[in-house]
Homo-oligomer: A and B are copies of this chain.
Amino acid sequence: MSSTYHHGDLYRQALEQAQALLHEEGAAAVTLRALARRLRVTAPALYRHFRNRDSLLAALAEHGFLELRQQLLAVQRDDALERLTGIGQAYIAFAQAQPNLYRLMFGGQLLPRGAHPDLDAAGLGAFAVLQQSIDDALDAGYLNGQPAGPLTAAAWSLVHGFAELTIDGHLPDEQQAPGLAALVTRLLLPGGPPSHHDNTL
């Protein structure tokens, strides 16, 4: 009399174990059958909760974007420019702490856009934090009043690129020093009204 024929909350546990699998072994290891084995359930059972494997991966990526957004929102500084650089560093820290998750979020496996609307929305939500903090910095007179659009694109490109290159080991070792992330996030920002942040390297 297996008292757990009905598992109870397979959906939640599946997400948790899938996150563990992703974190430990990468997206390729997030297999419906492997996940089912971990949960002591047969593979087709998972189809009651996920349309297919891609939907499961999309759900993981979506959670990743939601978590990233929260970590960016948690950066609080008085000065708008300091907050912007802090956000950049938090972004990089997120990617370095969970490289497999980050690769799933940006690896391009879940394309095309529109296939997973919730995922797209979560991605925009994270992007919005960065965008807002740039607007705030501009309002505070920083960034030489450059147009917000290209600035945002450049800022995101910089942190995203640095995050990916470091977690994939593409940058030479000496350029992976812990402090470099901070340095890089400041290179883009050639000053503004208060001068307590020169690019004094």
A residues lining the B interface (CB < 8 Å) = 28, 99, 103, 106-109, 111-113, 123, 127, 144, 146-147, 149-154, 156-162, 164-165, 167-171, 174-175, 180, 183-184, 187-188, 190, 199, 201
Interface of A is mostly: helix
List the 10 closest A-B pairs by CB distance, nearest first. A161-B161, A157-B161, A157-B162, A160-B161, A190-B190, A113-B169, A154-B187, A153-B175, A103-B108, A154-B184
Report A94 CB to chain B, min CB distance, Å. Answer: 15
Report A156 CB to chain B, min CB distance, Å. Answer: 6
List the number of copies, as a whole number.
Answer: 2
- Whether A187 and B150, one on each chain, are in contact in the complex, defined by CB atoms closer than 8 angstroms, is yes
Q: Bound complex: CA of A158 vs CA of B163, how far in Å? A: 11
- Whether A170 and B201, one on each chain, are in contact in the complex, defined by CB atoms closer than 8 angstroms, is no
Q: A152 contacts which chain B residues (CB < 8 A)?
A: 175
Q: List 6 extra interface pairs beyond A150-B184, A156-B171, A157-B157, CB under 8 A.
A: A108-B168, A146-B199, A149-B180, A154-B158, A156-B165, A157-B158
- Whether A165 and B153, one on each chain, are in contact in the complex, defined by CB atoms closer than 8 angstroms, is yes
- Whether B184 and A153, one on each chain, are in contact in the complex, defined by CB atoms closer than 8 angstroms, is yes
- Whether A160 and B165, one on each chain, are in contact in the complex, defined by CB atoms closer than 8 angstroms, is yes
Q: Which residue of B lies closest to A171 (CB)?
A: B153
Q: A158 contacts which chain B residues (CB < 8 A)?
A: 154, 157-158, 161, 188
Q: Bound complex: CA of A86 vs CA of B187, how far in Å? A: 20
Q: Bound complex: CA of A160 vs CA of B167, how far in Å? A: 14
Report A163 CB to chain B, min CB distance, Å. Answer: 8
Q: Bound complex: CA of A187 vs CA of B143, how far in Å? A: 11
Given known A144-B199, A149-B174, A199-B146, contact A162–B154 (CB-CB < 8 A): yes
